[in-house]
Amino acid sequence: MKICFVFCANLVTSAGNDGVLHINILTRQVARLYWYVLLLLLCVSVNASASSLVFSKEANEQARKNGDSLVQDKLSIALILPQAAEHGFWRIVEDVAFAVAADLDINIQTYSSVESRFSLLATVSHLLRQDKRPDYVIIRPYQGNAKSLFDLLNQANVKFITLEDTDFDNQDGIIKYPTESYPNWIGEVVYDNQQGSQLLLDALMREHQNAYPNKPINVVGLGGNFNSVSKQREQILMDMDAKQKLQLKQVFSTNWDKQVAQDKLPEILRRYPQARLIWCANDDLALTAYQLASNQQSQPYFIGGFDWLPGAIDSIEQGKLTASVGGHFLMAGQAVLRIAQHQLAENPQRYQGALEKYSFELITQTNVRQFSRFIKRKGWQSLSYQRYLYHGVGLAPQRLSITSMLNLYNELPK
């Protein structure tokens, strides 16, 4: 305002007695005003930038004091899980992933998808159309959609990690291994289903032999569906039968539905009354099997499954179920750790150990109490996960497992 006032005053005094404006004087005044205004705008811009910078630093400092950082500075992950709210397993998977991300100061958001390849593609397409895309996606592909899904993520230049060992319908060799056919596919988290099935079966057979030392081990199985997870787990039953370690009567598909198991099992038990060992593809099926088998005869059954559901752990404590294998609810947490490790690497290369499968862990009546306490209290929410990352010095960190987490949890102040 002051500059404009000075300019107007000079303009008036520059006019002659006849009111005619001297053009050359006017030109100089206009040029002077232009430079004054330009200088003023520059000062305002510098002051505004300085204020903004100070605010940003103060906000970040305050966020650090609160154990956080500004949202816009955080790494972002989209976790896409099956829409199976009735199945407690996926809720635990989600909870562990959020605990790891919170400790590592990473933003994570869950998206649900109906368990079909078409729904999953639609969910990912919608996610990638958002104004702010995630930096990484953690996803569990389905049979028949892997190539379309990977193409979509690769074209959007979004890095992703896959969960579980999925059949990629890979007859043409297009999908190979992480970073080979798709550079943005930076890793996969795969638990060894055959190792887990063998672990479970060995525990069930051991208890069967203790109870019936001179009797053959007759087995019936309650399988899942026909995906790779179920097939890999069931394959151990076939292998052990071929080795004459047991007598496999039949494996029944349930489509992971405990109601189907409830409908089929009475007939199964009538058809194979000598079968005292019931192998189940998950804990929901195992709990259903126990409810029905316990009403059949007074002789004990040896029943176990996968997932470490709270109800199954309680049943092991009560002597109802024999065993459960699990720990794979860490899968999304493992993926978050891999993403954090990928960010730490100065020159991110193909993941070391990307093809190494993770191992299942076993709960029986001998160790159930220590695991039960940790799982029921959601002990993973109390731990620091920095020690599972490699920061460039020292020994390589240990792998995340329930056993290692349990050891850390037991070291916490009571």
Could you say which of 3.30.360.10, 2.60.120.560, 3.40.50.2300, 1.20.120.610 is the CATH number of the domain covering 74-191+329-411?
3.40.50.2300
Main-chain phi, psi angles of 305, to 5 degrees: -150, -160
Q: What are the pLDDT digits (tens) for 370-409?
A: 999 999 999 999 999 999 998 777 777 888 999 999 999 9
Q: What is the dihedral of CA 175, 352, 100, 345, to 10 degrees?
A: -110
Q: What are the pLDDT digits (tens) for 312-328?
A: 999 999 999 999 999 99
Of 370 and 353, more confident: 370
Residue with tokens 């203790």: 210
Of 114 and 134, more confident: 134
H or E element in which residue 233 lies: helix 228-242
Q: Are 270 and 292 in contact (CB under 8 A)?
A: no
Q: What are the pLDDT digits (tens) for 29-65?
A: 545 655 554 444 434 333 333 332 222 223 333 333 4
Q: Are 157 and 150 in contact (CB under 8 A)?
A: no
Whole-angstrom distance, CA of residue 363 vs CA of residue 326: 8
| Mean pLDDT calculated for residue range 124-152 | 89
Q: What are the pLDDT digits (tens) for 193-235?
A: 999 999 999 999 999 999 999 899 999 999 998 888 899 999 9
Cα–Cα–Cα angle for 190, 193, 196, rounded to 5 degrees: 120
Mean pLDDT across the chain, nearest whole number?
81
103 three-state secondary structure? helix
| pLDDT for 186 | 92
| pLDDT for 16 | 43
Please report how the helices 283-293 and 258-271 are oriented relative to each other, as an axis angle in degrees rounded to 10. Answer: 40
| pLDDT for 13 | 43
Q: Do domains 74-191+329-411 and 194-326 have the same CATH topology?
A: yes
State both tokens at 16: 């002659």
Could you say which of 3.40.50.2300, 2.30.40.10, 3.40.190.180, 3.40.50.1980 is the CATH number of the domain covering 194-326?
3.40.50.2300
Say what the pTM is.
0.77
Residue 341 has pLDDT above 80, yes or no: yes
| pLDDT for 393 | 74
Residue 331 has pLDDT above 70, yes or no: yes
Domain segments of the chain as ranges:
2-47, 74-191+329-411, 194-326
Whole-angstrom distance, CA of residue 4 vs CA of residue 2: 5
Q: Report residue 67's pLDDT band, with 50, 70 and 90 as the boundaries.
A: very low
| pLDDT for 137 | 97
Nearest to 292 by CA among 309, 280, 310: 280
Q: Are 372 and 320 in contact (CB under 8 A)?
A: no
| Mean pLDDT calculated for residue range 178-188 | 87
